[in-house]
Amino acid sequence: MLRYGDPSWYQGFNSPYYNDSHVRFRKAVREYVERELMPNCHEWEEAKSLAPHTHRKLGQAGILAGLSGMWPKEFAGESIAGGVKPEEWNFFHEMILLDELCRIGSVGVVWGIISGVSIALPTL
């Protein structure tokens, strides 16, 4: 962690909005992004396409459905990254997810991941 580079709540400062589920979720998503997405960004940018399995793997990791603005457990199940329970899910989790995905540093890759899910899925 880069000192003062992360939000204050993640550095251990008190917040009335963030709790342990947010910390666990952020840790799990950050590890996934650094392991699965960051190493492939340049290749995907050059190809102008994500690997075919990217969305499926994000779904299996308990991450992808969080981009819909809620956790639709009837479609996505109850397995959320970091052991978060569907009833704990709130918009702060979604904001954390977007923050962590944006750490990739590639607008094309981030947009390729979130565009269809965050625009189309909530209306369904």
Q: For position 5, what pLDDT does the model report?
A: 64
- pLDDT tier, 124 (very low <50, low <70, confident <90, very high otherwise): low
pLDDT digits (tens, 9 = 90+) for 76-97: 888 999 999 999 999 999 999 9
What integer best gives the mean pLDDT of the chain? Answer: 87
98 vs 119 pLDDT, higher one: 98
Distances in Å between the Cα of 95 and the Cα atoms of 45, 98, 103 are 24, 5, 13
Residue bearing tokens 């008190």: 14
Dihedral of alpha carbons 57, 62, 67, 71, sign: positive
**pTM, two decimal places:** 0.85
Closest CA to 65 of 26, 14, 18, 114: 114
The token pair at 22 is 């947010």
> What pLDDT shows up at residue 73?
83
Look at residue 3 and tell me whether its pLDDT is greater than 70.
no
Residue 75 has a pLDDT of 81
The pLDDT of residue 116 is 75
Residues 12-54 pLDDT 10s = 677 788 899 999 999 999 999 999 999 999 999 999 999 999 9
Q: Give CA–CA dist 5/88, Å, rounded.
A: 26
| Nearest of 95, 81, 102, 98 to residue 21 by alpha carbon | 81
